[in-house]
């Protein structure tokens, strides 16, 4: 059976294995009453900057499953006329990689609807807005400060190996903890915060303090203890990142 972790970490390069994996997950979730769709990022261009002492690459991508952009006439500060743009997007946590010199770097995928990129290709101001949306989304979602004064658009279309992602509405973190001395789930206390999982037990003595890459919905988690395997499995739904609305001052050339 093809596992999700091996796909998401680039362990499956065979297209047939990827297809089988997606079919298995789709059927599994369908049996649970959930409609799952896979988002395949379509490469467009790459931004390079720095953050936390490392190179950071942002792949600007597109996919039809992302909501279309929208705009409406409005006025900004000072009453200047313009268009209020809403650019829905999806993004992924940074994944480690290596740059051309072999140094460690981090890669993010930010995915817009194709219409957003098509419109931005012929409008410099809209492209600037799209870039600031992508950079701001990475900063806000993953609590990292990027060097916005030194952002460079590269000639390449994609950095790293393209990966498929399950639709945001279905994304969840599953954590399995081996607790060989634990008799029942009642003997352990689990506390979940937006970006942290803490598990503690007095007798036997266990403590786990685990930072989470995704912001999770702490009120909708589920925990199950397998008494035979002595494993506690915790499932945490990820908070969806839907859209970011920004105001773009412009003339009538904006679509």
Which residue ranges does the chain devote to CATH 2.60.40.790? Answer: 171-237
177: which 2 tokens?
Answer: 């903890």
Is residue 184 within 8 A of residue 232, CB to CB? The reply is no
Report the CATH architecture of 171-237.
Sandwich (2.60)
Determine the pLDDT at residue 165: 76
Distance CA 152, CA 59 (A): 12
3-state secondary structure of 143: coil
206: which 2 tokens?
Answer: 């266990």
Is residue 46 within 8 A of residue 58, CB to CB? The reply is yes
Determine the pLDDT at residue 169: 47
Q: How far is CA 147 from CA 28, 52, 140, 159, 195, in A?
A: 42, 9, 14, 19, 24
Burial of 145 (0-12, 13-18, 19+ CB in 10 A): exposed
**Which regions of the chain are under pLDDT 70?**
1-15, 17-19, 21-22, 25-26, 28-36, 74-79, 166-171, 213, 240-255
Q: Is the dihedral of CA 131, 134, 136, 139 positive or negative?
A: negative
CA nearest neighbour of 189 among 208, 176, 173, 171: 208
Distance CA 139, CA 145 (A): 6
Determine the pLDDT at residue 240: 59
């Amino acid at each position: 059976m093809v596992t999700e972790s091996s796909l998401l970490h680039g362990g499956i390069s065979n297209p047939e294995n990827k297809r089988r994996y997606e079919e298995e997950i789709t059927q599994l979730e369908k049996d649970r009453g959930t409609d799952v769709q896979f988002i395949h990022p379509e490469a467009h261009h790459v931004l390079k900057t720095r953050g936390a002492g490392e190179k950071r690459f942002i792949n600007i991508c597109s996919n039809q499953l992302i909501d279309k952009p929208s705009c409406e006439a409005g006025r900004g500060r000072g009453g200047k006329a313009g268009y209020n743009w809403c650019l829905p997007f999806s993004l992924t946590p940074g994944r480690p990689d290596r740059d051309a010199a072999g140094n460690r770097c981090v890669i993010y995928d930010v995915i817009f609807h194709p219409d957003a990129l098509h419109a931005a290709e012929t409008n410099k101001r809209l492209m600037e807005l799209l870039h600031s949306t992508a950079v701001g989304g990475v900063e806000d979602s993953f609590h990292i400060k990027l060097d916005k004064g030194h952002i460079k658009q590269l000639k390449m279309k994609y950095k790293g190996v393209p990966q498929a992602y399950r639709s945001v509405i279905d994304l969840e973190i599953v954590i399995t903890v081996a607790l060989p001395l634990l008799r029942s789930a009642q003997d352990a206390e689990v506390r979940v915060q937006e970006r942290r999982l803490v598990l503690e037990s007095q007798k036997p003595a266990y403590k786990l303090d685990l930072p989470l890459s995704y912001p999770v919905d702490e009120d909708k988690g589920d925990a199950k203890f397998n008494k035979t395997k002595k494993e506690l499995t915790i499932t945490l739904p990820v908070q969806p990142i839907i859209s970011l609305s920004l105001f773009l001052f412009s003339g009538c050339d904006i679509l």
